[in-house]
Structure 1
Amino acid sequence: MERELTAERIEFLEKDYRRGFIKFCGFQPSRIGKGLFEAALAIGENHKTQDDFIHAGVIATMSDHTAGYAAYTLVSNDIRILTIEFKINFLKPACGHALKCKSEIISHGRQIIVAQSTVFDVRDTHEKMVSKSTITLMAIDAARLENTEG
Structure 2
Amino acid sequence: MSFTTYGDYAARTRDSFDRQAAMRTLGIAITDVAPGRVWLTLPFRADLTQQHGFLHAAVITAAMDSAAGYAAYTLMPEDAGVLTAEFKSSFLAPARGSRFNVEARVLKPGRTLIFTEAVAHAIDGAAEREIARLTATMVVVQGRADVTG
Using the size of structure 2 for normalisation, the TM-score is 0.89
Deviations 1:6-52 (CA, angstroms, capped at 9, x unpaired)? 3xx42332232132111111111111000000000011112211211
- Aligned letter for 1:79? A
Distance in 2, matches of 1:79 and 1:107, equals 17
Residue equivalent to 2:11:
11
Kept in 1, the 8 Å contact 2:113–2:138? The answer is yes
Unaligned runs of 5+ in 2: none
**Contact between 1:115 and 1:134, CA under 8 Å: does it hold in 2?**
yes
Q: Which moved more, 1:114-123 or 1:39-48?
A: 39-48
Matching residue's letter, 1:15: D
1:5 is displaced (CA, Å) by 5.8
The reply on whether 1:71 has 2:61 as its aligned counterpart is no
Give runs of ≥4 in structure 1 deviating > 3 Å.
Answer: none
- Whether the 8 Å CA contact 2:32–2:40 is kept in 1: the answer is yes
What TM-score, normalized by structure 1, do the two folds share?
Answer: 0.88
Q: Equivalences for 1:82-121 in 2 at 5 Å?
A: 82-121=83-122
SS at match of 2:23: helix
Distance 1:146 1:22 in 2: 19
Aligned-partner Cα distance in 2 for 1:46–1:76: 38
For these two proteins, the number of residue pairs brought into alignment is 143
Which consecutive unaligned segments of at least 5 residues does structure 1 have?
A: none
Alpha carbons 2:54, 2:96 under 8 Å: kept: yes
Q: Matched residues, percent identical?
A: 25
- CA shift, 1:4, in A, is 3.9
